[in-house]
Structures are given as structure tokens and as C-alpha cells.
Amino acid sequence: MSKGKIKFSLVYRDMWQSSGKYMPHVDQLVKVAPAIIEMGCFSRVETNGGGFEQITLLSGENPNNVVRQWTKPFKDAGIQTHMLDRSLNGLRMSPVPADVRKLFYKVKKAQGIDITRPFDGLNDSRNVLSSVKYAKEAGMIAQAALCLTYSKIHTVDYYINLADTYIKGGADEICLKDMAGIGRPAWLGKIVAGIKKNHPDIPMEYHSHSAPGFSIASILEVCRAGVQYVDVAMEPLSWGTCHADLLAVQAMLKDDGFDVPEINMNAYMKVRSLTQSFIDDFLGFYINPRNRYMNSLLIAPGLPGGMMGSLMADLENNLKSLNKWKVKNNKPSLTQDELLVKLFQEVKYIWPMVGYPPLVTPYSQYVKNLALMNVVQMEKGKKRWGLIADNIWDMLMGKAGKLPGDIAPELKAIAKEQGREQFTADPQSLFPDALDDFKKEMKEKGWDFGQDNEELFELAMHPEQYRAYKSGAAKKAFEEDLALKRKTGAGLNKGTDKLVIDSGESSVGTMKPSTLYVDVEGEKFKVSVSYDDKEQTAQSSAVTAASATQGGATHEILAPLEGKFYLTKESSETALEVGDQIEKGDLIGYVEAMKTFNAIRSDKAGKVIEICFKTGVDVEEDDVLVKIN
């Protein structure tokens, strides 16, 4: 007798995102879709989600066209399509105004996506339930996701109660999002059983990455407990930091007595071959080979497997800088393995202190970055918490949602010293409606709003990337970078998964930028920007006032770490200028390292007499950034 029917969902978008950086082009997606359908084993296919549209824009394609063409074959075949969304953050890393979020679901429904999977990196139900509401108003199926992590406060009852809140708040389905793959099988089975006991008819789907090694056993346990849908990947992009392989999952569940769909292996080999051809075409240049491996060291810190490529790159860069300091100070150097162990130990140590945020985008990056900065600073004999980026402070102060736990007293003391106050209201209130501003911009530039207002949505959701796409700068930069990689045979830049585009430095002060720094999934892209009006002349690398030789002792503000120096990080900020009078504690700029902006503040009051670097320039630790007197 069958234990019940299990249906499979192919996470074709996340397969690519968990492996590398870019997505297949629209002609490639349309080419592979019929073969995926021919396999005959998928009830659902993931056709969109976080990162997909930003990356598509930066490769020079219109994502609205891509989503419509990619989704249509599955719709015609009766296969449901679904996407991942980040609730308050929509499809990006930063919060989105409510009117843009509402338009988001209307556009995606019109483009043919059936199911949205809203999740919140803090499991704050306010953020998720507003997405559930907007999605259902647009006619979509709302599948609320539980971000799974393993700690003393993330108990079985915690998740059962969270699911209950989502279901009573209108969620049509529940997804167990095991983003780091650290959910223990028996523990997961108890969560599913508890949810099913309270809500026996609620559809449930399990999503897990395979990096730590639990995923295949976890799939068996959750299916035995009542999950009906399982997310799977397939070769050549399964396992590693990606997801369990379809063939293994199907064989395991079939042997255990479940009713599972049969797989057309001829079609399977077509999909496999086509996917490999996309890798061979260009996508392989942006896939870090490290992401093909599993690593059980990830169990203790609970970091998502998809972070390992960028983590190792960050580690390599920081190790080089740290060892340079150690040599200069007659101290023994560290190996990469030694630094990696210290990092994992620090993540494990500080995670409870920063309130147990589930380690999923963007909070996994925040915790990892904070831990690495702590390790580097302590190796130099300095104190922990010496460098905390502004976006990490936003997390700690509740500006993105309520942390599951409480932050440590020492962090509260630092916050109080810096005049930071805890925010307890709805995070959405910090981000007022903005569609009217984007409508005005499109009218002024003569841009069409698009079918179902989809072009308006694209600009509002991804303003920097969309502008770079419309100007042609994104496509030009992408094609130049790819041509260089093909010419040299180089894959990833120095073993990292970063796309490095050098199209000129940005200027300083109030001048229009000649380059645009675009953040996608925590990774900074740099694209050139052109203007219709007369270009302004770039200033020199050091901006010095004529009065720099005025009397008074000169005080130097130094870079506390290695990275890129920026005078501003938001278009709304006013850049520091020579002649400005600043007070102790005033912001003078930022050093961007590990995809976060570390605010640099003056340790003394005075008048700015020199800005020593242009914005966007690499700086070393202890470089003089600004001089005052």
C-alpha cells in the first residue's frame, strides 16, 4: 500500500543561483523548457525569484520578456510555476515601499507565475503576512516560508506556532525553507507532524540545500511526516551548495513505498545535456568550482552553502591583509585553514549575541561579515565589535524586523553610546510609497510603462540595475567582461565568484558619476554611466583646498580596514567636501568590504583640508582618508 503521493518541483532558478552568478539567457531557457516538460515528473517549476531579475538586467536582457517566455510553456502544459520572494525586500536585498510590493504581485500574476513563496530572514510574521495579503489580492497562491535554523530558541514548537500564525493569517501553503541544510531529519519530521496535526489539509513543500549533508535523510523524514512537495535539482547542478538530486530522491522515496512520478530518462538526458551546454557557453565562467563540494564544517556555524564561494574569497583577501600586518609587527602568520576555523568559531559565538537571526540572505552575510571583522581585529590585539556596518546595526536595532532573540548587553551598551535606539514599529513604515516618483521619472525619460505596468515595476524594484540596462551600460560591461574571460580562458576572478568590471572611476563631490556601483545579492557590480548632457571633467585623485596650508595642526583620519573607499553609499547623501566643518563622530565616508559598507567617522572636530582618495578607489588599512585641522 502506498504511503501517499509525493510531487516534485524543479528549482531551475535556484540551481543556477546556488551554483554561480548568472542565469541562462532567454533563448536558452525557452530551449530547455520543452525537455523539462517532457521529463513528465514535475508538478512545479521555479521560474523566478530573488536575484533572477537583477542578474538578467545586468546581462543586458529585459527580465519581463524573459519571465513571460520562460513561464508560458509550463503554464500551457498544466505545470504550476512558482517564485521565491523576500517579503519586505521583494526581489532584492533592501526593503521595498508598500505600493511597489503591491504592484509586484499584480505583475507576476499577469506574467504567468502561479505561486509566490514569501520568506523573511528574521521570521517576522508582519513582513510575511503583508506579502501573503498582497499576493492573494493579486490572485496568486501564497506559500509562506519558515526559515529553518537550529538553536535553543528555534524549537519544534517555535516553528509549529509560526506556521499556525501564517496559516491563520491567510497563507495557502507552507514551505520549510532549510536554506543552510542544517535541519536535523528527526527534528524536521516533528515540525511537519505538528503542523499537520493542527492543519491536516495544508499543502507543504520542503526546500533544502545539500551542503552539510543532511538533506537526503531530511527529505525522507519530512515526506513520512506529511510533506507533499519536494524541491529537487538535477545534474550537472545538483548536490554541493545546491540541492539534492532528482534521481536519488525519486529512487529513495519509491523504495520507501511512496507514490512518485516516473522519469522519462531520454528527456532527462536532454535537460542534462542542454544545461551543460549553457555552462560551456558562458555560465561556467561565473561558477566557482568550490560550490560543487559538500562541507560538513557548515553544521556548527549554520552558514548557507551558497555563501561558501564568496566566503572563501573574503577569507583569502582578509588573510592576505592580516598576514601583511603580522609580518610588519613580527607576529606569526596564519594559514587559511586556521583563519577559517577561527571564523566558524566566532560565528558560533556571536550568533546568540546578535539575537539568533536565521542565517539566510541578507542576515547570513551580516553575521559572517561581523564575525570575520571581529576575528581580524582581535588578531591585531583590538577589541571585538570594533567595526559594525550600518546595515548590521539596522538588523540589531529592529529596523528590518524583530530579531528572534535579544542582543547581548555589550551590544546594547555600544548602541546607547552611539545614540542608536531600538525600533519596534512595523518596518514597512520606514519606507514610504514611491511609485509616483518612478512614474515621473519614466515620463520624463519617455520610457513606456510596459504591459501590465511591468516596466514601471522593474524600475521601482531594481532602479540602479534597470537604469544601467536602459542605458546599455550593463550589457556593454557584461559583454566586455565575458569576451575577456573567453579570450584569456580565465574563469572566476582570482578564484572568486565576483564579476569585476573596470570602466573608469567615479568622480567626487557633486559631479555626476561616470560609473555606477550596483549591488546584487550582496555583490557589487560596477558599470559605466553616460549622460545626454555635457560630461564634466574628472577631478584629481586627491582633492586639496587652496587653504590646505593654513595654520593649525593636521589630523589624519585613517582607514580601519582594507576595501573600497566611498564618500557616500546612497544618492540621497551629501558627499564630504574640502572646507566642510565636521564634529567628532561625524560621518566622513565608508569603506566597503565583504559586501557591507563600514561607516568611517571622525575621531576629532575640525575643518576638512584634504580628501585623499576618489570614491570607489581601493584603500589599504591605515591609509589616510581625510585630513582635517
Residues 311 and 267 in one domain: no
Compute the distance between CA of residue 190 and CA of residue 458 in angstroms, rounded to an integer.
41
Residue 532 placed within a domain: no
Residues 389 and 326 in one domain: yes
- DSSP assigned state of 566: E
Compute the distance between CA of residue 600 and CA of residue 211 in angstroms, rounded to an integer.
36
Tell me which residue of 220, 178, 177, 171 sits closest to 198, measured CA to CA: 171
Compute the distance between CA of residue 163 and CA of residue 175 in angstroms, rounded to an integer.
9
Question: Residue 553: helix, strand or coil by DSSP?
Answer: coil
Compute the distance between CA of residue 212 and CA of residue 294 in angstroms, rounded to an integer.
6
Residue 15 placed within a domain: yes
Residues 266 and 328 in one domain: no
Residue 357 placed within a domain: yes
The pLDDT, as a whole number, for residue 291 is 79
The pLDDT tens digits of the residues spanning 423-467 come to: 999 999 999 999 999 999 999 999 999 999 999 999 999 998 999
β-sheet with 617-619: strand ranges across: 596-601, 587-593, 563-566, 617-619
Q: Are 428 and 120 in contact (CB under 8 A)?
A: no
Residues 269 and 321 in one domain: no
Question: Residue 514: helix, strand or coil by DSSP?
Answer: coil
Residue 148 placed within a domain: yes
Residue 468 placed within a domain: no
Tell me which residue of 464, 570, 574 sits closest to 509, measured CA to CA: 574
Compute the distance between CA of residue 228 and CA of residue 216 in angstroms, rounded to an integer.
15
For residue 138, what are the contacts with CB-CB under 8 A and spacing of at least 6?
102, 105, 106, 108, 109
Q: How many CB atoms lie within 10 A of CB 254?
A: 14
Q: Please report which residue ranges of 462-571 form alpha helices under DSSP H.
A: 463-471, 473-488
Residue 523 placed within a domain: no
Greatest pairwise CA separation for the chain in angstroms: 91
Residues 140 and 57 in one domain: yes
Q: Which of 428, 450, 480 is the last residue before a domain boundary? A: 428
Question: Residue 367: helix, strand or coil by DSSP?
Answer: helix
The pLDDT, as a whole number, for residue 537 is 35
Angle formed by the axes of helices 215-225 and 246-255, to 10°?
40
Rg of the chain over Cα atoms, rounded to whole angstroms, equals 25
Give the CATH number for residue 145.
3.20.20.70
Tell me which residue of 473, 482, 545 sits closest to 516, measured CA to CA: 473
Measured CA distances, 28 to 31, 49, 354, 587, 611 (Å)? 5, 18, 43, 47, 48
Domain that holds residue 393: 300-428
Tell me which residue of 350, 44, 14 sits closest to 181, measured CA to CA: 14
Residues 179 and 276 in one domain: yes
Compute the distance between CA of residue 538 and CA of residue 536 in angstroms, rounded to an integer.
6
Bridge partners (DSSP) listed for residue 291 = none
The pLDDT tens digits of the residues spanning 479-489 come to: 999 999 898 87
Q: How many CB atoms lie within 10 A of CB 433?
A: 12
- Pairing outcome for strands 229-232 and 7-10: parallel
The pLDDT, as a whole number, for residue 324 is 87
Q: Which of 235, 259, 288 is the last residue before a domain boundary? A: 288
Burial class for 327, CB neighbours closer than 10 Å (0-12, 13-18, 19+): exposed
**Cα 566 → chain centroid:** 21
Residue 623 placed within a domain: yes
Compute the distance between CA of residue 303 and CA of residue 345 in angstroms, rounded to an integer.
12
Note if the bond before 73 is cis, omega within 30 degrees: no
For residue 331, what are the contacts with CB-CB under 8 A and spacing of at least 6?
none
Residues 222 and 370 in one domain: no
Tell me which residue of 121, 148, 116, 155 sits closest to 133, measured CA to CA: 116
Residues 213 and 92 in one domain: yes
Bridge partners (DSSP) listed for residue 627 = 556, 610
Q: Are 215 and 244 in contact (CB under 8 A)?
A: yes
Residues 313 and 263 in one domain: no
- Phi, psi (deg, nearest 5) at residue 378: -70, -30
Residues 39 and 80 in one domain: yes
Burial class for 335, CB neighbours closer than 10 Å (0-12, 13-18, 19+): exposed
Q: How many CB atoms lie within 10 A of CB 480?
A: 14
Q: Which of 361, 393, 428 is the last residue before a domain boundary? A: 428
Tell me which residue of 132, 117, 185, 187 sits closest to 159, measured CA to CA: 187
Compute the distance between CA of residue 522 and CA of residue 253 in angstroms, rounded to an integer.
37
Tell me which residue of 115, 316, 321, 322 sits closest to 229, measured CA to CA: 115
- Mean pLDDT by 10-residue block, N- to C-terminus, for the chain (629 residues)? 90 91 95 98 96 92 97 98 95 92 98 97 96 98 96 95 98 96 96 98 96 95 98 95 96 97 98 96 87 80 64 75 88 90 91 92 87 91 89 93 95 94 95 96 97 97 94 94 85 36 31 46 50 38 41 80 82 82 88 78 90 85 88
Give the CATH number for residue 575.
2.40.50.100
Compute the distance between CA of residue 96 and CA of residue 442 in angstroms, rounded to an integer.
18
Residues 91 and 193 in one domain: yes
Question: How many structural domains does the chain have?
Answer: 3
Question: Residue 397: helix, strand or coil by DSSP?
Answer: coil
The pLDDT, as a whole number, for residue 575 is 86
Residues 211 and 117 in one domain: yes
Q: Looking at 87-139, which runs of residues are DSSP E strands?
A: 115-118
